[in-house]
Amino acid sequence: MGHPQRTSRDGELPAIEFTAIRLGELFSTRVSMVRSPPSPASSCSSSSSSSSLSSQPSPPSSHLPYLKPQPAPPVRPACISSSTKRLLLGIFVIGAFISWSLGAWEPVMIRVGFHHRLRPAVLLVGDSLTEKGLLPSSMGWATMLQGDCRRTVDVVCRGLAGYNTKWYLKHAMPIVQDEIIGLSYSPILITIWLGANDAALPEGGSSESHIPIDEYQENLAKLVLDFQAITPTSRILLITPPYVDDAVQKKNAKANKGDKKGLVSHSNEMAGKYARACVDTAKRVGVPVLDLHTYFNSLPKRKRKDLLEDGLHFNTTGNALMYEKLREIIEAEFEDVAQKLEHWQFPHYEDFIETDPWAPDSTIVDFTNVRVRR
C-alpha cells in the first residue's frame, strides 16, 4: 500500500519539510561564501608558506611598467572545522529523516489524532447486497441510512457486486485503506458484509467465486485486523450472509444458458454454514455480528418468500427489515455511534428564527446564542 503524496491541499510542501529544505539552502550559501578566494590576511595556508610569500622583495617601482602580469595565486580550499562539518551532516540527516517520516509515519500520526477534524462517516464494505443497498428503486437499506443520517454523518458505500473476501482483500482493500489514510473520510462505524459469493456452490453456476470456508474465515479476520490497524477508533460490525430462497434459485438455474444451464448457484444450507463461520470469526476477533441468516430463517415461510427479488437480493420489504435490524444492533452494541447518528452537525433553522431573526437594522451576525440540537 502506497502512501499519499505528501503535499498540502493547495499543492505546497508541508511546513516542516519546507523549513528543512530552506535550512539546507541557507547552509549551502554559507559554505559557498566560505569557499570564496580568501584575502592574504585571512588565508588558511601554513605559516611557512605565508612567510615565504611575504618575504619576496617588491620590484622597484621604476620597473613596474615592464613587468609581465603575474598569475593569481591558486585558490586554496577554505578551512572548515570539524564541528561545522558535523553540523552540516546533522542538518542533512535531520532533513532527510523528516522528509521520509512524513510519509512512513503518516498512519501513526493519524492513529494518535494528528489529523484534520472530519465529518463522521459510516463505511459500508461488502458485495452486491451492500451495493444494491443504495438503489432508490428498491428503497435500499443504505439509502435509508443515508436519508436518516443526512444531517449527522456521511454514508460511504464500498459495496462491490460479485466480490468475495479474497477479491475484496486483494483489489478493493488497498484503495479503501488509501482513502482512510489520506483522510478522504473518517469512519466511526465500518460494516463488513461479505460471504454471499464466497458461499457459492463449488460445482454450481457461480463456482468461480467460491471460497473454502476456512479461507473465508481467515479473510474476514484479516479485513477486521487491517481496519483496526489503520483506524483503531472505528467500531466494526460483521454481517452474515442472509437467507437464500432455494425454490427461486432452482428456477433461475433452469433459465441459465450454455454450460451453466441447470446449475444452481446458491443454497440456503450453504449460506447457513458460512453464516455460522462469520459468527465464529466475530467472536474470535472480538467484534459484534449481525446474524441475518438466523433472523430471516426464523420468520414464517410465507413472509420469507416476500423479502427477496431473485432468491438472494432484497426487495423493498427485505431492505426495510435489514435496515431495522441494523439500527437495532447499533443501538445495542455501539452506544457512542448511535449518539453520533442523532447529533446534528448543523443547527435547525428554527433556532435562527428564535435567536437571529431578520431586522431592518441588523448588520452584524451574532452566533453566541445559537443552540445545536443533540
> What tens digit of pLDDT does each residue of 65-90 get?
445 556 666 656 556 677 787 788 88
Please indicate whether residue 107 or residue 175 has the higher confidence score (pLDDT): 175
Structural domain contains residue 9: no
| CATH number (domain holding residue 129) | 3.40.50.1110
Assess if residue 62 is contained within a domain. no
Amino acid letter, 79: C
Q: Could you give the number of structural domains in the chain?
A: 2
| Predicted confidence (pLDDT) at residue 31 exceeds the cutoff of 80 | no
Confidence of residue 134 (pLDDT cuts 50, 70, 90): very high
* Structural domain that includes position 89: 14-32+81-104
Q: Are 173 and 99 part of one and the same domain? A: no
Amino acid letter for position 93: V
Q: Are 282 and 334 contained in the same domain?
A: yes
**What is residue 45's predicted lDDT score, i.e. its pLDDT?**
44
Whether residue 325 lies inside any domain: the answer is yes
In a domain, 303, yes or no: yes
Which of these ranges, 15-19, 137-141, 296-300, 319-323, has the smallest mean pLDDT?
15-19
- pLDDT, greater one: 352 or 68: 352
d(CA 207, CA 229): 32
Q: Can you give the pLDDT at residue 28?
A: 57
pLDDT at residue 54 greater than cutoff 50: no
- Asked whether residue 193 falls in the same domain as residue 236, the answer is yes
Closest CA to 270 of 193, 191, 207, 192: 207
The answer to the question of residue 311 being in a domain is yes
Task: Choose the weakest-confidence range: 62-66, 88-92, 190-194, 256-260.
Answer: 62-66
Are residues 89 and 160 part of one domain? no
Q: Would 292 be classed as within a structural domain?
A: yes
Whether 4 is covered by a domain: the verdict is no
Q: DSSP 3-state helix, strand, coil percentages of the chain (rounded to 5)?
A: 50, 10, 40
Q: What percent of the chain has pLDDT over 90?
A: 54
Same domain as 220, residue 133: yes
pTM: 0.66
Q: Are residues 88 and 224 in the same domain?
A: no
Tens of pLDDT, residue by residue over 147-195, are: 999 988 999 999 999 999 999 999 999 999 999 999 899 999 999 999 9
Given a cut of 50, is residue 10 above it in pLDDT?
Answer: no
pLDDT (0 to 100) of residue 363: 58
| Greater model confidence, 182 or 40 | 182
DSSP state of 57: P
